[in-house]
Chain A
Amino acid sequence: MNSKVSNQIAIATLYVIASTIVVILAALLGYIIISGLPALSWHFLTSPAKAFTAGGGIGIQLFNSFYLLILTMIISFPIALGAGIYLNEYAKQNWLTSLVRTAIEILSSLPSVVVGLFGFLVFVVQFGFGFSILSGAFALTFFNLPLLTRSIEEALAAVPDEQREGGLALGLSKWETVLHIIVPAALPTILTGVILSAGRIFGEAAALIFTAGQSAPALNFTDWNPFNISSPLNPMRPAETLAVHIWKINSEGIMPDAKAISSGASAVLVISVLGFNLLARFVGHRLFKRLTAG
């Protein structure tokens, strides 16, 4: 067999593999979305779930998912940014740095169930936060931190060293240079990373089952005082998210329309995650253009 033929066979094989993956992915997404579409309605998206009767919605779960996402980001973004800046701009190549890097790597490969159980033991039991949004947010922070730190570190590393020298040569300190030149230059990439990780957080269930809990008590959407128990903003209330809700309906749902609700909720989840991915591309692209083009 000559090299031309073997080359063509190799290309054909790769094409087949690639298109198989695309087809499987498209079929999966298509199936989830199409089977969920009939259940979708404004009522479904906004009303609370019902345990025993048909006609429940996912309003509270949807709100919980977003609230938890925002809280997680508020906690984990500053930490990840600080860690990313330290690792890329300040850390010398020594044992401490490689220890930190190894820790991040191990943390990022932990199964999310393990992160959830860890969160249960530490935040729910030890710190006494109970099944709450706060416990969930801390667990998700552990889940999110490694990858977010890594992506911020990579975004900073992609900024050319000439930019750093440019700042120093003007008589600015290293910190001023990092904060006002390097971080803004890396911002489009950093934001893309943040939004992509938001998608991961949004779809996460295993880390939340034992931390944010599996119940969604009724909320009073007119009460925005975070200290009231029925306020949506209260961080100490248990909060079942959309992903956890899907898991729960499928394992123990007894409402008559369980199947339709699960399909609908799955479609919403998938569409949201897709939305985060598209948003990441769009925002990154737009920001990059804003910063580079006239």
Chain B
Amino acid sequence: MLINPSSPRLDDGWLERNIVDPSLKSQQPIVLETQQLHVYYGDNEAIHEGDLKFPEHQISALIGPSGSGKSTYLRSLNRMNDGIARVSGEILYRGVDVNRPEIDVYEMRRRIGMVFQRPNPFSKSIYDNITFALKRRGVTDKKELDEVVETSLKQAAIWDEVKDKLTKSALALSGGQQQRLCIARAIAVKPDILLLDEPASALDPVSTSKLEETLLKLKEDYTIIIVTHNMQQAARISDYTAFFNMGRALEYDETSQIFTSPKVQLTNDYVAGDFG
């Protein structure tokens, strides 16, 4: 870690951790929260403590150096790490622990959707990419399916680009279009929360800003948690930001707080670009 000459020293009142409770600051109810969360890969503990609360219809960003556990944390939220990692502690989705044995993991994942770092459209047509999961869930009415296709593609801001080639293969789209298609696919099953793991890292700047616009619109209907290594991106689109370092959420606050007056020195060093 480099020394930042302009930053105050430790004895200047830095905190070791600063995790705020958004329910004290905003009107929105909390949809998802973790308590005393620990995640282990074998004997290796990747998340030591993550006590965060995510308010409804807000964008929360997870930032931090690579390897700090952001993906591990995110993937635990909808149990994508089942069979890979072991979890202790609680993950409460609207008050219910998602790891309880009686939880229907498929229904839970439908409500907590996920978009990945690399766009992963299925090798099917654009139309089938969107309707596939619905059909598996027993929706057969053509009119209803058509409607879902149109609304989810519109919500993901890609309708105009693909409306004339819905039967064409999704793999023929550009990377940015594929990623927005993946978002449309995720919202087609009417989730409550969207988890995104560095969704723009494989995209060019134009596609990235389109994606960001899309997310800003989507937050009216969905609660969004996004991992990003791009701090400008976090600053541009998120309402809350959590800073992860070495498996710990060190600071969590309103995004403007994190970027203008963080209370933890490591956060300050990180957002100032001194390490990471």
List A residues at the B interface (Cβ < 8 Å): 160, 162-163, 165-173, 176, 180-181, 184-185, 290-294
Q: Is the CB of A170 within 8 A of B124?
A: no
Residues of B within 8 A of A172 (CB): 106, 133, 136
The digit string for B187-200, where 1 denotes a CB below 8 A from any CB of A, is 00100000000000
Identify which of A180, A185, A293 contacts B132 (C-beta below 8 A). A180
Q: Is the CB of A162 within 8 A of B114?
A: no
Contact of B160 with A by CB under 8 A: no
- Least CB separation from B132: chain A residue: A180
Give Cα A185 to B133, complex, Å. Answer: 16
Can you list 21 contacts pairing A with B, beta carbon distance less than 8 Å? A160-B118, A162-B116, A165-B116, A166-B182, A168-B109, A169-B114, A169-B116, A170-B109, A170-B113, A170-B132, A171-B107, A171-B108, A171-B133, A171-B137, A172-B136, A180-B132, A181-B122, A291-B123, A292-B171, A294-B165, A294-B169
Q: Is the CB of B116 within 8 A of A291?
A: no
Q: Is the CB of A165 within 8 A of B80?
A: yes
Interface residues of B in 93-136 (CB under 8 A from A): 106-111, 113-116, 118, 120-124, 132-133, 136
Identify which of A162, A170, A176, A294 contacts B189 (C-beta below 8 A). A170
- Least CB separation from A176: chain B residue: B136
- Least CB separation from B137: chain A residue: A171
List B residues at the A interface (Cβ < 8 Å): 78, 80, 106-111, 113-116, 118, 120-124, 132-133, 136-137, 165, 168-169, 171-172, 182, 185-186, 189
Give Cα A205 to B161, complex, Å. Answer: 56
Give Cα A86 to B185, complex, Å. Answer: 28
Q: Is the CB of A293 within 8 A of B116?
A: no
Residues of B within 8 A of A173 (CB): 106
Q: Given known contacts A162-B118, A291-B171, A294-B172, is B133 in contact with A170 (CB within 8 Å)? A: yes
- Least CB separation from B133: chain A residue: A170
Identify which of A162, A163, A171 contacts B106 (C-beta below 8 A). A171
Q: Is the CB of A184 within 8 A of B123?
A: yes
Of the candidates B168, B169, B185, the one having the most CB atoms from chain A within 10 angstroms of its own CB is B169
Q: Given known contacts A165-B116, A166-B122, is B169 in contact with A291 (CB within 8 Å)? A: yes
Q: Is the CB of A170 within 8 A of B185?
A: yes
Residues of B contacting A: mostly: mixed
- Least CB separation from B195: chain A residue: A169
Give Cα A180 to B129, complex, Å. Answer: 11
Q: How far is the CB of A236 from chain B (nearest CB, A)?
A: 42
Q: Is the CB of B120 within 8 A of A160?
A: yes
Of the candidates A171, A180, A294, the one having the most CB atoms from chain B within 10 angstroms of its own CB is A171
Give Cα A170 to B182, complex, Å. Answer: 10
Residues of B within 8 A of A171 (CB): 106-111, 133, 137, 189
Q: How far is the CB of B2 from chain A (nearest CB, A)?
A: 35
Give Cα A276 to B67, complex, Å. Answer: 49
Residues of A within 8 A of B78 (CB): 169
Q: Is the CB of B169 within 8 A of A185?
A: no
Q: How far is the CB of B73 from chain A (nearest CB, A)?
A: 16
Residues of B within 8 A of A185 (CB): 122-123
Give Cα A292 to B109, complex, Å. Answer: 28
Q: Is the CB of A162 within 8 A of B136?
A: no
Q: Is the CB of B186 within 8 A of A169?
A: yes
- Least CB separation from A188: chain B residue: B123
Give Cα A168 to B113, complex, Å. Answer: 10
Residues of A within 8 A of B120 (CB): 160, 162-163, 165-166
Give Cα A162 to B189, complex, Å. Answer: 19
Give Cα A171 to B113, complex, Å. Answer: 8
Besides the known contacts A170-B109, A292-B123, 19 further A-B residue pairs in the complex with CB atoms under 8 A apart: A162-B116, A163-B120, A163-B122, A166-B120, A166-B121, A166-B185, A168-B109, A169-B78, A170-B185, A171-B111, A172-B106, A172-B136, A176-B136, A180-B132, A181-B122, A184-B122, A185-B122, A185-B123, A294-B168
List the 8 shortest-distance A-B pairs measured between CB atoms, nearest first: A171-B110, A162-B120, A294-B172, A294-B168, A169-B114, A170-B133, A171-B109, A292-B171
Residues of A within 8 A of B132 (CB): 170, 180-181
